[in-house]
Amino acid sequence: MRIFRSSQLRLGAGLLALALLIAGCSASAKNQVYFGKVAPPSDNTLHYVSGSEPESLDPQIGTGQPEARIYMSIFEGLTEYHPKTMEPIPAIAERWDVNKDSSEFTFHLRKNARWSNGEPITARDFVYTFHRGFSPKLASRNAYLGYYIKYAQAYNEGGVFVRDKKTGEFLLVKDFKEGAAKTETPAAEPASASSSSAPDTEFNKIIKSPERVVLPGDEKERNKALEADAKLKAAVEGKEFVEVKATDIGVEAVDDYTVRLTLTQSAPFFLGVMAHQFFRAVPQKVIEQYHEAWTQPQHIVTCGPFKVETWKPYDKLVVVRDPMYWDVARVKLDRIAFYPSEDNPTTMNMYKAGQVDAVLNHTVPAAWLDMVRPLKDYMDAPEVAIDYYQINTKKAPMNDKRVRKAFNMAIDKDALAKWRRIVKPLTAFTPEGIFPGYPQPKGDAFNPQKAKQLLAEAGYKDASGNFDPTKFPINQVEITYNTQESNRIVAEFIQAQWKQNLGLTVPLKNMEWKTFLNMRSKVEYSGFARSGWVGDYMDPFTFLNLFYTPAGDNGTGWWDPKYVQMLDDANSELDQAKRYEKLAKAEAYLIEEQPVIPLLTAATNWVKKPYVKGMYPNPQTLHAWKFVYIEQDSSKWDQGVPDMQKRAGEFGPDY
């Protein structure tokens, strides 16, 4: 008995101590203003979790956002992203001119830009960058971003021109399109050549001439294309095929400090794409000398505000301020240390313990939101990203538009957004509130009655004409998503919504990421597949573009030439407001056809220490690192989300 009691006593004492410890933890949690330790580093180094391990330091190879954040520290392009609004601001190009219909961009480079080894950066470096980026040997996955540049796609895909052996003339597109060709470049008029702010050159005359026909370089593909078009086949007879070379692309170094881009069609949003990592300058001599090994720390040469100091993969990448950078006076940080971490709770632990000063977006796990969201270092702002469910429009019963609309209407998106807490409900296909001045259409509202009615109309009804859930082929439909906590809880919520509002229980199916991608892109799923899209640039077109072709990122099997026409129409519109109206009309058409179920506009959801300034929760969570600094004076620290209003001259006289 005595022994029993003493061990009981010990157990009781142990439990009491544990309880006190836990109480102490939660008590201290209630009083905290920020999440975890707040002690600014004394060495003027920013410690940042960028995301997963970068696959390469080559800006034309790495495709993800984690890589983008690193590239933005060591490479610069013609333009850079504004820290708050993502608008293009001068970088290596100090100013630019766009012709009237946005089919020609002329960039004037500053004369004091230098590589990290001291050599000057010239227009020829950018021509090399573009040529290399589109080269089929490099096989860059981001090359598609530049396909608006004339013949870039042809070169990248290994296409060929068709040339008459005797006259040396190329076969032209306009000879094959009837009427006013939509592909006929407006630059075919001599007037626009003079609207360029740079002098006309031989190359310019050639590139502005009417567009040439491009055929696949692979003989089998080419013959297939020729068999399909008799007129084309006849015209090709007796002519020779000339490989499209890098020098045929619409990029020109007019002189040492002027770069001119010629596009295949009007693309007013194209300027916003120029800050993408794919278009950042890469050093020709180093690449030609070391080939794939050029990015190793002992060889790499960079052009950004920082340069590579040390790199231990999966451990730490340290970049140090580059004294050769043209704007080095404005760069306040001495170093940035990038840490790769793929586990969100681990990243948050690093942040809490003070090992890192800021983290990337989407890091706060759903279960932690209640605790972290009210704190003053939580960054909450809308993102240029949407979540939606793709619908396989080729398989019954989803090939019936009424069925698709019914399922869309049977989800209470406001409830979904409220339950997720950090997102906004979405009924259309572009993120809400991101594009100022864009008259975004509204999709169907939550209406379970109408949903049931539509399903009845589609044929799933009982004798009295009301919707009968038992008649619906539920075994043909499921929700497929890649295995991840956030996807699962959303899928379960939607499953519950449909059960509640339609009486249908749609089964859930989850699988590993690449397996899922494979299935989704081949449109092999039944019913719905979870999807999301982050904008490549700040224009609604980056979302509406997804349905431009039936293949690619479409994933639904839906395609309508009328929609494509509406998009092309909008892009050739010179007036910005009218263009937005036309894009909105195209978007309205898209959501009326309902090949997708829009769910929500994402939110940034990350944390940064209050002493990190110049870093903003912008819509892409991409930071121009030269503006970031560590504030030692605690009275100047950020109390919550910093002011996102754009103020002229805030970051410098020319921004």
Partner 1 sequence: MFRFILRRLIITIPMVIIVVSLTWGLVRLAPGNFYTGEKRIPPAIEKNLREKYGLDKPWYVQYARMVKNILMLDFGTSLKYEGQSVNSILARSLPVSATLGLLAYLLALVVGVTAGTIAALKQNSRLDYASMALAMLGISLPNFVLGPILVLIFSLTLFILPPTRWGGFPSVNLILPVITLSALYMAYIARLTRSGMLEVLRADYIRTARAKGLSEKDVVFRHALRGGLMPVVSYTGPALAFLIAGTVVVERIFVYPGLGTYFLNACLNRDEPLIIGIVAFISISVLLFNLLVDIAYGFIDPRIRY
Which residues within the stretch 480-539 sit at the binding site for partner 1 (CB under 8 A)?
A: 512-515, 517-519, 521, 532
Report how many residues bind partner 1 under the rule CB under 8 A: 58
551 touches partner 1 (CB under 8 A) = yes
Q: Going by C-beta distance under 8 Å and a sequence separation of 6 or more, which residues neighbour residue 189?
A: none
8 touches partner 1 (CB under 8 A) = no
Helix axes 448-457, 401-409, angle to 10 degrees: 160
Among candidates 153, 149, 99, which has minimal Cα distance to 252?
149
Between the two ends of the chain, the Cα-to-Cα distance in Å is 81
What's the closest the beta carbon of residue 116 comes to partner 1, in angstroms? 19
203 touches partner 1 (CB under 8 A) = no
346 touches partner 1 (CB under 8 A) = yes
What's the closest the beta carbon of residue 132 comes to partner 1, in angstroms? 13
What's the closest the beta carbon of residue 550 comes to partner 1, in angstroms? 12
Closer residue to partner 1 in complex, CB, 204/392 = 392
C-beta separation of 99 from 196 below 8 A: yes
Which residues within the stretch 366-405 sit at the binding site for partner 1 (CB under 8 A)?
A: none
Closer residue to partner 1 in complex, CB, 2/312 = 312
d(CA 120, CA 108): 15
Q: Stretches 54-62, 364-372, 376-384, 456-464: which one binds partner 1 (CB under 8 A)? A: 54-62
Displacement of CA 613 from its chain's centroid (Å): 25
Closer residue to partner 1 in complex, CB, 64/652 = 64
Q: Stretches 50-58, 364-372, 574-582, 602-610: which one binds partner 1 (CB under 8 A)? A: 50-58
d(CA 94, CA 501): 57
Q: Stretches 188-196, 350-358, 375-383, 430-438: which one binds partner 1 (CB under 8 A)? A: 350-358
At 213, give phi and psi (nearest 5°). -70, 140
3 state SS of 514: helix
426 touches partner 1 (CB under 8 A) = no
Closer residue to partner 1 in complex, CB, 112/346 = 346
3 state SS of 261: strand
Q: Which one among 295, 344, 392, 605 touches partner 1, defined by CB under 8 A?
A: 295
* DSSP notation for 21-81: HHHHHHHHHHH-SSSS-----TT-EEEEEEESPPS-S-TTT--SHHHHHHHHHH---SEEE
Closer residue to partner 1 in complex, CB, 175/315 = 315
What's the closest the beta carbon of residue 31 comes to partner 1, in angstroms? 14
Cβ atoms < 10 Å from Cβ of 410: 26
Among candidates 429, 436, 432, which has minimal Cα distance to 541?
429
Tell how many helices (H) and how many strands (E) occur in the chain: 20, 24
Q: Stretches 196-204, 342-350, 358-366, 458-466: which one binds partner 1 (CB under 8 A)? A: 342-350
Structure tokens at 606: 């990350």
350 touches partner 1 (CB under 8 A) = yes
Q: Stretches 72-80, 203-211, 281-289, 290-298: which one binds partner 1 (CB under 8 A)? A: 290-298
> What binding mask, one character per residue, do residues 127-166 give for partner 1 by CB under 8 A, x or -?
---------xxxxxx-xx-----------xxx--------
d(CA 183, CA 516): 36
**Sign of the dihedral defined by the CA atoms of residues 383, 385, 389, 391, in that order:** positive
What's the closest the beta carbon of residue 346 comes to partner 1, in angstroms? 6
Q: Stretches 313-321, 417-425, 453-461, 573-581: which one binds partner 1 (CB under 8 A)? A: 313-321
At 555, give phi and psi (nearest 5°). 70, 5
Closer residue to partner 1 in complex, CB, 99/347 = 347
Q: Which one among 32, 45, 201, 355 touches partner 1, defined by CB under 8 A?
A: 355
C-alpha distance from residue 200 to each of 78, 110, 254, 255 (Å): 21, 21, 8, 11
- Residue count of the chain: 655
Displacement of CA 206 from its chain's centroid (Å): 33
C-beta separation of 576 from 273 below 8 A: no
What's the closest the beta carbon of residue 232 comes to partner 1, in angstroms? 19
343 touches partner 1 (CB under 8 A) = yes
Closer residue to partner 1 in complex, CB, 5/514 = 514
What's the closest the beta carbon of residue 225 comes to partner 1, in angstroms? 13
Site residues (CB under 8 A) for partner 1? 21, 24-25, 36-37, 53, 55-56, 58, 61, 63, 136-141, 143-144, 156-158, 218, 292-296, 312-316, 339-343, 345-346, 349-350, 352-355, 512-515, 517-519, 521, 532, 551-553
